[in-house]
């Protein structure tokens, strides 16, 4: 008897130790995963938040006093005259060119808009003080720490330019402001003029095309396979192929889009229309699988009750089963769209990796998408594009998290427990 009690005691001790070790292994795994994710987010945020700021220089510009003068004014000369008026001691042409280089060429467009706005006032002011975009070198100088900004060899500023810039900093005539142009301009070769709007609009047009094609085709295919198709060898083959297509690498769908949409149908290269059609092929198996799973979760008693009341097979499915399964269908669709918005490989194959400076306004316009734009900035030799890359990643992550949160909210709010 005592031997049996000792055996039970030893068995409980061994099992308790194993369970304790297993719990600690699980906790260690969670801690490592959370630490890696936190390190990744901290790294992206610490680099990316500066991408939402832009250095600006304050200029006092003399304005033309008549409409005739305003129409013939040279914005570049006005900007240069304003900088020279601030540093009157700079007289040599070579030094003046260095002085002009502190300001971005984008300042000319900003000054032109300011002239158009001020010319409508009665009487028009003789001069206006405005903040204009600084050059990329000035932007990098302000974003560097005080200990490294004067020793970093990648900041292309001469000693004279650094001295002028420190003078402007001491007088409060240079600052870091919110870079609204990041959300209002397209891409550019110059970091201070590059914006994310072109990629955002390209992603929007691409996702709208993808949604318009993949959602109805995926839902209707799943409804037919689950509710109407006779079970047999043919349906088994179709199901196996759908499951296999869900695991196919995404670049294969890019090759399919390249050979069919561009090669056979001759659709415009690098267009959002082609990108959306290619991504629709990629997420179509995912939508079919999730929709079928949602339809299977509906109890047969719902179908039997509808039939008992005289409903036709079409009415049973589309009046009762599909509405009850719609939360799961929408959740799967949103998750599929979230996967599509982060894809790059299939879009590279159809030419959406090209440099596109203009913001697309139509589905057939040449465009790029947010992941491809991030890739282009990351591969750029300009160091300042690193911050733009991190800022673009933050925008993409915010969108992906919002889509996943929306899927969770829809599932929690509308799901039925049977």
Q: Cα 12 to chain center, whole Å?
A: 54
3-state secondary structure of 163: helix
Closest CA to 374 of 350, 400, 394, 399: 394
Segment 16-33, tens digit of pLDDT: 667 777 788 888 999 999
Running along the chain, 418 residues long, what does each successive block of 10 average in pLDDT? 66 68 87 91 83 90 66 80 88 90 89 75 73 90 83 84 91 91 90 91 94 94 91 88 88 90 89 93 92 91 91 92 90 88 88 86 91 90 86 91 86 73
Closest CA to 322 of 291, 280, 288, 289: 291
Residue 123 preceded by cis peptide, ω within 30: yes
For residues 319 and 237, is the Cβ–Cβ distance under 8 A?
no
Task: Give the DSSP H or E segment for 55.
Answer: strand 53-62
Q: Report the alpha-carbon distance of residue 193 to residue 88 in Å, rounded.
A: 29
Closest CA to 376 of 385, 384, 367, 365: 385
Percent of the chain with pLDDT over 90: 37
Retrieve residue 112's tokens. 């032109």
For residues 141 and 149, is the Cβ–Cβ distance under 8 A?
yes
- Look at residue 24 in the predicted model and tell me its pLDDT: 87
Q: Report the alpha-carbon distance of residue 89 to residue 96 in Å, rounded.
A: 10
Q: Report the alpha-carbon distance of residue 226 to residue 208 in Å, rounded.
A: 27
Handedness of CA 308, 310, 312, 316 (dihedral sign): negative
Q: Report the alpha-carbon distance of residue 351 to residue 329 in Å, rounded.
A: 32
For residues 366 and 342, is the Cβ–Cβ distance under 8 A?
no
Question: Within 10 Å of residue 69's Cβ, how many Cβ atoms?
Answer: 13
- Look at residue 192 in the predicted model and tell me its pLDDT: 87
For residues 370 and 290, is the Cβ–Cβ distance under 8 A?
no
DSSP 281-302: HHHHHHHHHHHHHHHHTS-HHH
Superfamily of domain 197-414: MetI-like (1.10.3720.10)
Segment 93-134, tens digit of pLDDT: 899 999 999 999 888 888 888 877 766 666 666 778 889 999
Q: Report the alpha-carbon distance of residue 332 to residue 344 in Å, rounded.
A: 21
Question: Within 10 Å of residue 315's Cβ, how many Cβ atoms?
Answer: 14
């Amino acid at each position: 008897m005592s031997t049996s009690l000792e055996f039970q005691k030893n068995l409980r001790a061994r099992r308790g130790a194993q369970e304790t070790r297993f719990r600690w292994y699980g906790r260690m795994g969670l801690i490592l995963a959370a630490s890696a994710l936190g390190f990744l987010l901290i790294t992206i945020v610490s680099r990316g938040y500066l991408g939402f700021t832009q250095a600006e220089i304050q200029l006092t510009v003399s304005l033309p006093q008549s409409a005739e003068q305003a129409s013939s004014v040279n914005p570049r000369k006005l900007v240069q005259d304003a900088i020279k008026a601030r540093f009157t001691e700079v007289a040599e042409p070579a030094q003046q060119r260095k002085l002009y280089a502190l300001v971005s060429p984008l300042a000319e467009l900003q000054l032109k808009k300011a002239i158009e706005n001020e010319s409508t006032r009665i009487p028009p002011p003789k001069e206006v003080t405005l903040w204009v975009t600084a050059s990329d070198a000035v932007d990098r100088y302000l974003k560097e720490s005080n200990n490294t900004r004067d020793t970093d060899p990648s900041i292309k500023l001469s000693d004279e330019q650094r001295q002028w810039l420190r003078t402007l900093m001491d007088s409060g005539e240079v600052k870091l402001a919110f870079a609204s142009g990041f959300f209002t301009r397209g891409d550019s070769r110059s970091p201070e003029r590059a914006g994310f709007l072109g990629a955002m609009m390209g992603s929007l047009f691409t996702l709208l095309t993808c949604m318009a094609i993949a959602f109805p085709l995926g839902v209707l295919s799943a409804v037919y396979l689950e509710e109407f198709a006779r079970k047999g060898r043919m349906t088994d083959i179709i199901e196996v192929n759908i499951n296999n297509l869900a695991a196919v690498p995404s670049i294969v769908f890019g090759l399919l889009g390249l050979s069919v949409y561009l090669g056979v149908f001759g659709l415009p290269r690098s267009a959002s229309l082609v990108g959306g059609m290619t991504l629709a092929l990629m997420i179509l198996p995912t939508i079919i699988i999730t929709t079928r799973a949602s339809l299977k979760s509906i109890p047969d008693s719902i179908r039997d009750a509808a039939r008992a009341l005289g409903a036709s097979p079409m009415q049973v499915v589309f009046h009762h089963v599909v509405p009850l399964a719609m939360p799961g269908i929408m959740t799967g669709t949103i998750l599929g769209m979230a996967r599509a918005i982060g894809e790059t490989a299939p879009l590279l194959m159809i030419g959406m990796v090209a440099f596109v400076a203009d913001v697309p306004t139509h589905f057939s316009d040449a465009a790029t998408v947010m992941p491809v734009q991030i890739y282009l900035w990351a591969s750029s030799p300009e160091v300042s594009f690193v911050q733009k890359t991190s800022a673009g990643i933050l925008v993409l992550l915010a969108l992906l998290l919002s889509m996943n949160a929306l899927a969770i909210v829809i599932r929690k709010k509308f799901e039925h427990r049977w």
